[in-house]
Amino acid sequence: MPSSRSAKASGRDADMKIAFIGLGNMGGGMAANLVKAGHEVNAFDLADEALRSAAEHGCSVFDDAGAACEGVDAVVTMLPNGGIVKSVYQNSVFGHAPAGAILLDCSTIDVATARDVIAAAEAAGYDMVDAPVSGGIAAANGGTLTFMVGGTEKAFERASEVLDPMGKAVIHAGAAGAGQTAKICNNMLLAITMIGTAEAMTMAKKLGLDPQKFYEISSVSSGYNWSLNAYTPLPGVGVQSPADNDYQGGFATALMLKDLRLAMEAADSVNATTVLGSTAAELYEKFAEANGGLDFSAIIKTL
């Protein structure tokens, strides 16, 4: 049975040396939280601005990913896609990080590539996990991410010490690739519920019901769901959310579309029926053409 743990509960000494590769919107905050926990962090990114920010948060910055991995206890990657993940591990991690290092890929990529990279890592003598995240930029900065982890029990236990300072929950989903499976299925469900919530709120408003009253009723009734209760897509209604900031920040539509594409590829590979998932992907495909930078809850604008 998959195991879980409450982050920051291990009580272990925070004295690891960690390479962190990929310091974008998510990775920058994650690396900073590792420093706050007492770890020594070697940071690498292709963007100078990201490196400057990492240095300001106490990281040692490197202009070469392989050099950043030398002599470390762990390597964490947060990268855009599976092709880049595979290239970074083959060219900059394997053979550069010590054989005893634990490797953690926190990117969201396709399941097949995650399994391939972990198999290659194990063949090279490393323990490795796929550990994609849920929570968005605010959670990355605040150290309250949820990590869905795929890999052996041994690798999970080792990885947990690295993940704890960055999250509120670290859950062992199963074998290699299980973290990615959990992530894309979770986000497919999130996309579906966000569209459903947006439709219901808009319909209620058009029928003359005060949106706040609809929120007050549905949020404690059978319509309860995360998109409504914790991430209300209509400005001025329910909880504070990106909708109240003109849909800036949060989880970008372009990233939701990326996850939905991965979910559809995975569904095709196992002949899974995803009628609602496919519809959500089609709607976000159209919406992202001109709104990729907006939070994914902005899909309500189309209604």
Say which amino acid occupies 225.
Answer: N
The single residue of 183, 205, 213, 301 carrying the catalytic annotation is: 183
Query: Which residues neighbour 208 within 8 Å (Cβ) at sequence distance 6 or greater?
Result: none
Contact of 19 with 42, CB cutoff 8 Å: yes
C-alpha distances out from residue 259 to 105, 168, 215, 263, Å: 16, 22, 28, 6
Q: Could you tell me which residues come within 8 angstroms of residue 129 by beta carbon, excluding any fewer than 6 positions away? A: 102, 103, 104, 105, 118, 149, 150, 151, 155, 156, 159, 176, 179
Pure H helices in 136-274? 136-142, 153-163, 178-206, 211-218, 226-229, 253-269
List C-alpha distances in Å: 180 to 111, 140, 262: 6, 18, 10
Please check whether residue 68 is in contact with residue 62, taking contact to mean a CB–CB distance below 8 angstroms. Answer: yes
Q: Is 183 a catalytic residue?
A: yes
Q: Are 115 and 176 in contact (CB under 8 A)?
A: yes
Q: Which residues are catalytic?
A: 183
